[in-house]
Every structure is written in C-alpha cells, then in structure tokens.
Structure 1
Amino acid sequence: MTNQTRGIVGSVLAPACRVWLRSQVSQVDSLQVDIQGGSRQILGGTIPRVAVVAVGAIYQGLSLGSIDLVANNIRINLPQVVKGQPLRLLEPIAVMVEVEFRETDLQASLAAPLLSQAITDLLTQILATSHQNQWLIDWDRVRIAPHTLILQGNLTLDGQTVPIEISMGIAVLDGHILDLDPLTITCSIDLPGSKINSYQIDLGNDVNITQLQLTTGKLRCQGRIQVNP
C-alpha cells in the first residue's frame, strides 16, 4: 500500500466507514475497522477487504452482543467520499458474519418493539391464526439452553391474562431455513394450532448460515448475508 493509499484509508475511508456504521446504531461500546488493499484497487473505488469488529452495539433497541464482519471487493463511491459525502455501496456485497448473543443481550432486547413484535408475528404464523388482532402479548423472559431457546410472557385475550411459553430447538437446513423442532407452545387458553410440534422459517437466498450453536446462556451464529446498495 503506497503512502497516498494509506492517506486515503487513514484520513477518509476508515473514518467514513466508522461514521456510517455508527449511524446505523444508537450505541456501540467498541468499534474497530480494518481496511486492506492495493493502491490501484482502492484508488479505483474497490476496497479488497474490510473487517469490522463491534461490541455492545444497539440497533433499534436490539442488543447485538459482539459482531465480526468481513467483506471483500466492495465497490463504493470513492470520489464523492473524498469530497466529504456519505459512503455508499455501488454493488451488492457478500458479508461474512460471526455474531454472539448472550442471554442478557436478548433479555434486554425484549423491551424493543422490533423484537417483541417479531416474536408475536412468528407465533401468529406458527398458529396460522387471526388472534393477533385481538390479543396482547408481553414477552418478558428469554432463556438460552443447550440446543433450545425458550420465550416466556403473558398473553391477554378476551380480558383474561395467562402465561405463555414457547420452547424450540433450532437447526439450520440448506443454509437459509430455520427448523424449529421440537416446538412446544404452552398456554392455558386453547389456542388453535398450538399442538404443532415443528415449524420452518425461510430466511431467503440472501442468507447462508453455516453454524448456529445454542449453549447455556449463549447463542453463536456464523454465516454469509448479501447486502444490497
């Protein structure tokens, strides 16, 4: 890497990446950005490799734990970035991701509407029910056990409030399908469809999960996602 390229990376690209990443989250405890590549590529607007390590990031109320990201051959609007304009992607990129959630991260995230609504939407899909327009679910506890994720809360329906629990094993099929098996829904209110014992979620072809591991108090995931401009 020439002195000119080091100058662009040190004074322009790395700060621009950090600014863009920080703009995506409301809080981050630690953020490291490492940019690598040759002069011709970088000056031509292609970054051969970017590695990002973030700890304690919070995105829309979600506590993301620790995240490692690596992306290769990134096409950006370098001439505009040099002039002080925001960094933009010009082409889709494949990002290798390694993320680790602690149970405390997920517990803190339950207060975020994004996660609590996503769980409620998932339950609605599993049960194939129209109850969502009538019920209120307050999710207040998450536990991570070996091979199992357990969600607990209180469901209010027709003026009655009772506990509800979802216990699910999680495996990955074909890199993009989450296989919830075994799946158990426990609630004293008779919910049609609650006797289901497995369910699959297709995350789409932009996702390829290579490893998903649940141990006591911790969830670790590795894979690739496609990020579009």
Structure 2
Amino acid sequence: MPEDNSPTKNSNKIRLITNALTAALKLWLKAQVSQVSQLEVEIKASDRQILSGCIPWVSIFASHAVYQGLYITRIQLIAENIQINIGSILKGKPLRLLEIVPVVGNLIVEEKDLNNSLASELLSTALNDVLVKLLPEYCFQLKPTWHKITLDYNQIILWTNLGATTENTPLEVRFDLKLIGNRELQLTHIQVMKNDIALLEGEHNYHLDLGSDVDIQELSLIPGQLVCRGRINVNP
C-alpha cells in the first residue's frame, strides 16, 4: 500500500510534534521553579522550523511562581529564535537550549510575595551586601536577619535585626530606588535608624550592577507593588 503523504496526515504529524514540544517546554519551565500556580505556553513556528529545532517565537505566562526562593506574582515572557535539541525531545528526552536566548518580559511582584522571598538566599544575600557597604562596623561580625519589606512610591523600607535573637540590634533601612541606564540600580536618600537614632542619613548613594545579561527598560515602585520590564539573556 502506498504511503499516505496527504496534507491532512502531514498536518497531524506536525501537530503531534508541536504538542510534544509544548509539553517538553512546560516540563522544562516547571523544572526551573519549585512552585507555579498557572503556566501558559504558546509556540509560533512553521513545520520546517519545528523539525529543524528552531522556534522563532514563544510566549510564556506564569503566575505565583517560585524561582530559587523568589516569589513572583505574575510574569509574561516572549522569546525569539530559540535553538533546541528537537531530535532528543522526540525521543522523550528533556528539552535543552543550544544557544543563548534573549527573553523580553514584564514582571510584577506584590509586596506580600516580596516578603515571602526574604528567606531566599538570592534576596537576603543582596540585602546583606548592601547593608555591609552602608554599615561595615555593625555588619562585619553580625549577620542580618530580614523581617519585613514595605514598598512605597520609588522607595523601599526594610526592617532587620543584627545579632542573636536574645541580644539583637533592630534597624530600619530606607532608600529610594532608581534605574540608571539599563543595568544599574542606584540607591539614594539612604537612611538607617536604630531605635529612632540615625546611624546613617544624608546624601549617601549605592550602585548595584545587574550584569551584562540584563537590559532593564522600566523599573517602578508603587505602594505594595514592584513592576519591571526589560530583557535578560537565558544561558544554556
């Protein structure tokens, strides 16, 4: 019997490959996070592109995701020209990126999720580094324990303790947050209070370089919410 190469059969084959690719991409994304409430993936690619392992356009939406201890309220990502191991995927193996993928995204983190992230190593380490720069004489031997974050208009307020729980130093840290260029954060109007006594205040500035893989277009703080829009390179 001659092989059926009708357009309908070929279309069904491609649909199966697209479904398998979408499922593999979802599994890969879920492997990157420890928790996610909602995850939607949309792929736009021609038959030839899919079979060659090139995905020209992918849209990803996730809500209430946790990445390395960081709680993300909502995130929308769009990636283009993704090179993947399509042959291995069709054999049931995990998806793997073959090249760096530039990803454009919109990120929203609500205050409650930011507070849930205080226990994460990524956020606590970043905050510790800032505090050590500001108050080296206090933080040289005492490890900060972060308790609360409040978001205001372009301002962040943090509460922390230094030292053991039975004999600690409570501190309140305030600063304005501003985006400089596309990859640098500037902390200005920094104020550190200990029992209503100012340990640091005035025109102190602190700069934080986000790295060459980051290109931030917008970073805004409003009461209870942080909004970020930009691009980041995802490495294989």
**TM-score under structure 1 length normalisation:** 0.90
**Aligned: 1:27 with 2:35:** yes
Separation (CA, whole Å) in 2 of partners of 1:131 and 1:153: 12
**2:222 maps to which of 215, 218, 223:** 215
Are the structure 2 counterparts of residues 15 and 26 from structure 1 closer, same or farther at C-alpha, using a change threshold of 3 Å? same
Q: How does 1:10-159 map to 2 (within 5 A)?
A: 10=19, 12-127=20-135, 129=136, 132-156=139-163
Aligned-residue offset at 1:196: 6.0
Matched letter for residue 121 of structure 1: D
Aligned-residue offset at 1:58: 1.2
Q: Which residue of 1 aligns with 2:14?
A: 5
Matched letter for residue 59 of structure 2: A
Conserved? CA contact 1:185–1:195, under 8 Å:
no
**3-state SS of paired residue (1:107):** helix
Gaps of 5+ in 2: 1-9
Separation (CA, whole Å) in 2 of partners of 1:190 and 1:146: 22
Q: Which residue of 2 aligns with 1:177?
A: 184
Separation (CA, whole Å) in 2 of partners of 1:213 and 1:152: 21
Conserved? CA contact 2:132–2:140, under 8 Å:
no
Separation (CA, whole Å) in 2 of partners of 1:118 and 1:77: 35
Separation (CA, whole Å) in 2 of partners of 1:63 and 1:143: 15
Question: 1:157-184: CA deviations, max 9, x gaps?
Answer: 8x84222122121111110010112222
**3-state SS of paired residue (1:119):** helix
Gaps of 5+ in 1: none
Aligned-CA RMSD value:
2.2
**TM-score under structure 2 length normalisation:** 0.87
Task: State the identity %.
Answer: 39
